[in-house]
Amino acid sequence: MSLSVSIRHSFGAFSIDVGFEAPTGVTALFGRSGSGKTTVINAVAGLLRPQSGHVTLDGRVLFNSDTNAFTPVHRRRLGYVFQEGRLFPHLSVRQNLAYGRWFAPREAGSAGDHVIEMLGIGALLDRRPGALSGGEKQRVAIGRALLARPKLLLMDEPLAALDEERKAEILPYLERLRDETDIPILYVSHSMVEVARLATTLVLIEAGHVVRAGPAAEVLSDPESVPTLGVRTAGASLHAIVAAQEEDGLTRLETSAGRLLIPRVEAEIGARLAIRIPAQDVILSRTRPEGLSALNILPAKVTAVRLGEGPGAIVQLKAGDDLILARITRRSALALELAPGADCFAILKTVSVAQTNVGGAG
């Protein structure tokens, strides 16, 4: 399963020239509002016909400007989850869910019950969209897209219209979707938290052009992507296994770099997690600090340093098997003589690990 996209399109003075490959898993298109992400996803969906380029899914040509091929949107068999849900107000939840199945070719087996169970929407079936909360609407919208048995799932900022609580409610469902189905997902977002938790492949878009693309872990831990990701939100992830639930409200994790304590997360012992570590939450020290309130001190080795144009610097560290980023001042980077190969300690306050930064890792 793979999607190949290469499109060029211009609206007045703004032009888009984007090309990328999306393998199985979640491919996130990340960029600021107005960078052209939605145009790209709409071109893949067939809601927009680009001026030139091609879109190919598993060898099936959906669009090719050279041969004038263009598959209309209703024949592409893609599931599209929009930012605002777009449930049909005159139909019940059950009828909304069944809508796409109506037009899908009849194939053996029905994934219906599994999808309804996975999304936790069984109790809503007889309600009308008007009587659902924002989070419930989005879950039904995801179910409706999945039940059309799509070859590819498109999601355009599906969580952007929800508050933090609702986001936290839906993110685990999206992780299950990524880990339990083999449908490739194209996910448009400008939220670092969502991208870090969900993406397996990351495409960074700036002003209509791809500035960086590759495996998500690689792109997120690359100091060169930080300007696009945003200095305040950039950060890489540590992979961890739940070791114990402590009595004082903390969860103890084991990472390849050592022990990590975070505020209690509801997960079973042995569960695999990915903990996003925002670069600006990390403090660096050349010697192991003592008498410090921060509970997490991980030994690490500097692998790259990127001095910014302002007062900041981004340091890439190898902590165990994972690469993480630390955002410090240029002054500190120079004073501590941080250069590739230097040993240091990465210090992380336990309470700085927000619940939304803790995700499942297949």
Partner 1 sequence: MLDALPDWLATALSHDEWRAVALSLRVSFWATLASLPLGILVAYVLARCEFWGKQALNGLVHLPLILPPVATGYLLLITFGRKGPVGAALDEHLGIVLAFRWTGAALAAGVMAFPLMVRAIRLAIEAVDPKLEQAASTLGASRPWVFATVTLPLILPGVIAGAILAFAKAMGEFGATITFVSNIPGQTQTLPSAIYSFLQVPGGDAKAMQLVLIAIAIALTALFLSEWLGRSVARRIAGS
Q: Which residues bind partner 1 (CB under 8 A)?
A: 45, 47, 72-80, 82, 84, 86, 88-90, 92, 99-100, 102-104, 127-131, 144-145, 148, 154
Contact at 8 Å (CB) between 174 and 81?
Answer: no
The minimum distance between CB 355 and partner 1, in angstroms, equals 31
CB of 132 to partner 1, least distance (A): 10
Comparing CB distances to partner 1, the nearer of 119 and 314 is: 119
* Dihedral pair phi/psi, residue 38, rounded to 5°: -65, -35
Closest distance to partner 1 from the beta carbon of 11 (Å): 17
Decide: 298 and 275 in contact? Cβ < 8 Å.
Answer: no
Tokens of 353: 């690990």
CB 195 to partner 1: min, Å: 23
CB of 99 vs partner 1, minimal distance in Å: 5
Torsional sign, CA 201, 204, 205, 210: negative
C-beta of 89 vs 341, nearer to partner 1: 89
Strand pairing report for 152-156 and 78-81 = parallel
Between 36 and 150, name the residue whose CB sits nearer to partner 1. Answer: 150
> In the complex with partner 1, which residue's Cβ is closer, 96 or 237?
96
In the complex, the smallest distance separating the C-beta of residue 173 from partner 1, rounded to whole angstroms, is 20
- Tell me the β-bridge partners of 15: 10
Output the CA–CA distances (angstroms, integers) from residue 264 to 243, 245, 250, in the order listed. 12, 7, 5
CB of 306 to partner 1, least distance (A): 41
User: Tokens at residue 49, please?
Assistant: 């016909």
Please, what is the minimum distance in Å from the beta carbon of residue 145 to partner 1? Answer: 7
Nearer to partner 1, 124 or 277 (CB): 124
Q: Pick the closer one to partner 1 by CB: 77 or 197.
A: 77
Query: Given the DSSP bridges, would you call strands 3-11 and 14-22 parallel, antiparallel or unpaired?
Result: antiparallel
Where helices occur in the chain by DSSP H, the ranges are: 37-45, 93-103, 112-119, 134-147, 164-180, 192-198, 216-220, 226-229, 330-335
User: Which residues are paired to 21 by β-bridges?
Assistant: 4
Give the shortest CB-187-to-partner 1 separation in angstroms. Answer: 16
Please, which residue, 60 or 288, has the CB nearer to partner 1?
60
- The smaller minimum CB distance to partner 1, of residues 126 and 179, is found at 126
Nearest to 326 by CA among 305, 350, 349, 299: 305
Q: Give the contacts of 303 (CB within 8 A, at least 6 positions apart).
A: 316, 317, 318, 323, 340
Query: Phi/psi of residue 44, each to 5°?
Result: -65, -40
Identify which of 141, 61, 75, 125 has the alpha carbon closest to the alpha carbon of residue 104. 75
119 vs 298 by CB, closer to partner 1? 119
Separation CA 272–CA 253 (nearest Å):
9
